[in-house]
Structure formats: C-alpha cells, structure tokens
Structure 1
C-alpha cells in the first residue's frame, strides 16, 4: 500500500463524471466503455499488477476477478485536488476473506483517467 495523503471527504455524486462512468463500466465489465474514459497512455495498478495502455486495460476490465462472484458498493469518496480523487468501494463475495474495502485512487489529465491505483 502506498502512503497517500488524506483526501477531503466529498459526496459520491461529486466525483467527476469520467470517474463515475468508469466505475459503472468497470462493474459491468464493459471494457470498451471503460477505455474510452482513459488516456491512451493510462496506467492501472491492481493487486500488484500494472496494466499500461488501452489494450492491457481493456483485458483487465474484462477479466479482473472474473473467477469470483461479489457485490460492490461505492460507499464514500474523497478529493485531493482538481485531478486526484479517491472512491472507496465495499465488496462482499466468494473471494478470499469475503469482505474488502478498496480505494480506487484516480489521477485525471485533460478530462480523462491518467492513472488508477486500487488498494486496500
């Protein structure tokens, strides 16, 4: 886990539209919709794996945690500045541990997602 500055809490409906649309596409495993919201050189880090560029991110969205069944709920959000946001999801399912709260830490550039780091 990285040492992240503390974000100022915001209502989840105050997240930028690009983030809420990406989160919805990710939950739906709609990889084509998700990558349209990412810069061509975007980087996603999830579970100690890094995915760079549209092709790798498309594969990640389509296949990440596909071996598990789980529910996910956006429970809170935070804002560091105009380009850095934290969306916290609560997951419950048949994955190891069964329950997790994950931070989806976004950095935006030019209205698109530049980086996303997912961590506890």
Structure 2
C-alpha cells in the first residue's frame, strides 16, 4: 500500500475541526464555520478560489443562501494525518438536483488550511 493512498475511515474518525466545519456548514452557520480555517486558508469551490477569512466567510454566506438542499456525509477517507476526504451526497433545487461532492481537506495546526470541493 502506498503512503498516500486514501484509507476509508468512519465519519467519527474525521478530525474534530473537520466535523465542526461540516456541522456548522450544514447548519448554515458561517460564523462558526469560518473559525475552523487558518487565517490564510484557501477554498476552491465551483471553479472559484477564496483566500483568507473574509473571502471564505463571504463564500460560506453565499453558498448557504444560493440554493436549498439536503446534504449527507456518505464516505470519509484519511490520506495521512493532515489530509482527509469527506464525500457528501447533495439533493436540492440547484441545477441537476443531485450531486456527490468530495471535500478534500488539508489541515495545519488543527485548523483547515485548504479545502477543495469537487465532483
């Protein structure tokens, strides 16, 4: 097995900071969600890059209000102590109506340094 091969884990095996982010994100609580990121964090979502706390908080507010959807964590993987993937199934009033998205997290100092969201 290669060192960087993802290993499936239970959702409660995800680091606390990722769980806290996902819980706040599902609750549309941008104020709490933004506290899980480093000050210089980067988020890549839907082809756009958001750098730093202010930009990430605006992105969180916008994504919470743009569409109505349900989100379910369907898979969790650990690549190494700093890299995790959480796969979510979304259903809602966005174009297409359903999608599975992989949230790829990079952690630094127990905070999220990088989040990339992609199908």
Specify the SS of the correspondent of 1:79: strand
CA distance in 1, matches of 2:112, 2:30: 14
- Give the deviation of 1:41 after TM superposition: 0.2
Distance in 2 of aligned mates of 1:35 and 1:92 = 24
Aligned counterpart, 1:54: 53
| Cα deviation digits, residues 36-78 of structure 1 (max 9, x gap) | 1110000000000000110000111111162321100011100
CA positional deviation for 1:94: 1.2
- For 1:28, the equivalent position in structure 2 comes to 27
Compute the RMSD of aligned alpha carbons: 1.1
Aligned to 1:19, the other structure's residue is in SS state: helix
- 8 Å contact kept, 2:28–2:64: no
Query: What is the match of residue 68 of structure 1?
Result: 67
Q: Secondary structure at the match of 2:18?
A: helix
Residue in 2 that maps onto 1:115 = 114
> Which residue is 1:12 aligned to?
11
Unaligned runs of 5+ in 2: none
In structure 2, the CA distance between the partners of 1:114 and 1:10, relative to structure 1 (3 Å rule), is: same
What SS class does the counterpart of residue 29 from structure 1 fall into? coil
Q: Where does residue 95 of structure 1 map in the other structure?
A: 94
| Deviation (angstroms), 1:19 | 0.0
1:99 and 1:32 map into 2 onto residues whose CA distance is 27
- After TM superposition, the structure 1 = structure 2 runs for residues 77-88 of structure 1, keeping only pairs within 5 Å, are 77-88=76-87
TM-score by length of 1: 0.92
Using structure 2 for the length normalisation, give the TM-score.
Answer: 0.93
